[in-house]
Every structure is written in structure tokens, then in C-alpha cells.
């Protein structure tokens, strides 16, 4: 509810001020866009209001889904809002470009917003993937790469490779202990999601753990005997033992 209120009142503010202070446009009639002079007469620009709109939608997307785990409550991504959040970013960027054009200037603020948009899409693709929404992840991955080619670490990176690379940023390229810890963390999350009926997230997290495992083993190649990982089934067994041992910190009473 707070996000919805923020979006509503920020949009109301933009519409109200535009209606009251939009005096003239290119054809000497109100055009629905405030130039610099009109913005100054209104008391400043709309940047804060525009940020409220797309940031509130982003917040609703990133923490808008309640995952019940009595006696605590965890919040997760509401991936159904990815499209609306992206659209909100684009709408506010275009509005800022129109304001700049009306004032014959370039504040650079639209491009500043685009950085936030790019970062949101990078996270959205990853979380769509771990929520096992592979088709949606592929759609938004293509959209992101077409719009922001520099958003991926290397050209021609596949969706699977991109998502594994996101995890491997934390693990290091071929660090045995860190990679083992990250795989264990993904499996732990997978089993915890399975325990509360979040089947899609179980599948997504386990799939990512398998891909990270396979990529690590492939990269170390002939050094397997020196720095290789235990068999994947053994890693699963270790995680399950930690999960179900008496007084496990991972299980809620």
C-alpha cells in the first residue's frame, strides 16, 4: 500500500503542476510539457516526483511478494511487475527528454535515469531466471541487451551464462572454497523454498547451482584432482544434513 500511495500522489503532483503552470509551447499554446521557465515558476523541476514513481514501482517489484514462513515473514520479488516497472522508467525518461527539448537544453537527467533502468533490468533478468520464469527471463534479457549492450560482461553471452556470471561475481573465477560456499547457499535457498511450497524458486535455484557447478568444473579442467569440487550429490547431502540437524539455524520452529 505505501508504494501505491507514493505512485498515485507523485503522478497527481505532476499532473496538477503541469495543468497550472503550462503556459505555452512551440505553437504558443499549452503543450503539456513544462520548459525551464515554467518549472521555475512552479517551484522547481519534477525529478523528485519522477523518481518516486519509478522507484516505488521498483520497490513493489523487488519486495512486493509475501513469502509466509511462520513465525516470520519474508518478502521476495513480485516478478509480474517487471514489465510495469520497466515501462515506468521509460515513461519518466521520455518525459524528461521532452522537458529538456522544450527548454532547448540537455540536463543529462534522462540518461541518469537510464542507468537505474539498466541496473533494474540486470537484476530482473536474474530473478526471473531463479524464479524459473525462463521464457520471461529470455524475453527481458534480449530487451536489455538490445537497449543496453554494455549491460553484459561479454558480447554474445547466453542467458544461462549471464545468470551464472552474476553468481560467480561473488564466488571468484575459480576459487574452490568460495564457489563451494555459493553453490551450498543456492542449494540451501532451494530447499528452504521447497519447504514453504515455492516450487518455482526451488527449481530455479537448484538449476543455477547445477550450472555454476558444471561451469566451475569445466573451467578448472585438468586441475580437477587439485581444486575440484565434491560430486554434486555430495554437496546436496551436506546441505540437507545442515538443514535438518538438531537446532539448525536454518529451520524455524
Low-confidence ranges of the chain (pLDDT < 70): 1, 25-29, 45, 68-73, 170-175, 222-227, 249-253
Secondary-structure breakdown of the chain: helix, strand, coil percentages, each rounded to the nearest 5:
70, 5, 25
Can you give the pLDDT at residue 81?
95
Q: What are phi and psi of 65, to 5 degrees?
A: -120, 125
Cα 42 off chain centre by: 34
Can you give the pLDDT at residue 107?
86
Closest C-alpha among 223, 211, 126 to residue 176: 223
At residue 44, the 3 state secondary structure works out as coil
Can you give the pLDDT at residue 19?
85
Residue 167 CB contacts under 8 Å (≥ 6 apart), including other chains = 182, 186, 208, 212
Q: ∠117-119-121 over CA atoms, to 5°?
A: 70
Can you give the pLDDT at residue 114?
96
Are 228 and 166 within 8 A, CB to CB?
no
Question: Cell numbers of 187, please?
Answer: 542449494
CA distances from 57 to 11, 68, 81, 129, 216 (A): 12, 22, 8, 20, 36
Strand partners, 73: 68
* Rounded Cα gap, residues 243 and 21, in angstroms: 61
Can you give the pLDDT at residue 253?
46
Are 157 and 165 within 8 A, CB to CB?
yes
User: What are the pLDDT digits (tens) for 141-194?
Assistant: 999 999 999 999 888 899 999 998 888 775 555 567 778 888 988 999 899 889
* Rounded Cα gap, residues 233 and 60, in angstroms: 37
Burial of 163 (0-12, 13-18, 19+ CB in 10 A): buried
Amino acid at each position: 500500500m505505501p508504494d501505491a500511495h507514493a505512485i498515485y500522489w507523485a503522478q497527481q503532483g505532476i499532473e496538477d503542476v503541469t495543468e497550472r503552470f503550462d503556459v505555452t509551447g512551440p505553437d504558443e499554446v499549452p503543450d503539456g510539457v513544462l520548459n525551464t521557465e515554467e518549472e521555475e515558476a512552479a517551484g522547481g523541476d519534477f525529478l523528485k516526483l519522477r523518481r518516486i514513481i519509478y522507484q516505488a514501482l521498483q520497490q513493489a517489484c523487488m519486495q512486493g511478494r509475501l513469502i509466509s514462513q511462520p513465525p516470520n515473514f519474508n518478502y521476495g520479488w513480485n516478478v509480474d511487475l517487471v514489465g510495469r516497472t520497466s515501462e515506468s522508467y521509460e515513461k519518466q525518461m521520455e518525459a524528461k527528454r521532452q522537458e529538456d527539448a522544450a527548454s532547448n537544453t540537455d540536463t543529462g537527467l534522462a540518461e541518469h535515469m537510464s542507468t537505474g533502468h539498466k541496473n533494474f533490468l540486470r537484476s530482473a533478468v536474474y530473478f526471473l531466471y531463479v524464479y524459473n520464469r525462463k521464457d520471461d527471463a529470455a524475453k527481458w534479457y534480449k530487451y536489455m541487451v538490445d537497449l543496453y549492450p554494455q549491460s553484459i560482461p561479454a558480447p554474445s553471452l547466453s542467458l544461462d551464462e549471464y545468470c551464472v556470471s552474476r553468481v560467480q561475481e561473488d564466488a571468484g573465477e575459480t576459487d574452490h572454497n568460495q564457489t563451494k560456499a555459493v553453490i551450498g547457499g543456492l542449494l540451501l535457498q532451494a530447499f528452504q523454498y521447497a519447504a514453504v511450497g515455492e516450487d518455482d524458486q526451488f527449481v530455479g535455484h537448484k538449476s543455477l547451482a547445477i550450472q555454476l557447478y558444471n561451469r566451475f568444473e569445466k573451467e578448472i579442467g585438468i586441475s580437477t584432482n587439485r581444486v575440484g569440487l565434491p560430486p554434486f550429490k555430495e554437496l546436496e547431502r551436506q546441505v540437507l544434513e545442515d538443514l535438518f540437524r538438531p537446532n539448525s539455524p536454518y529451520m524455524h520452529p
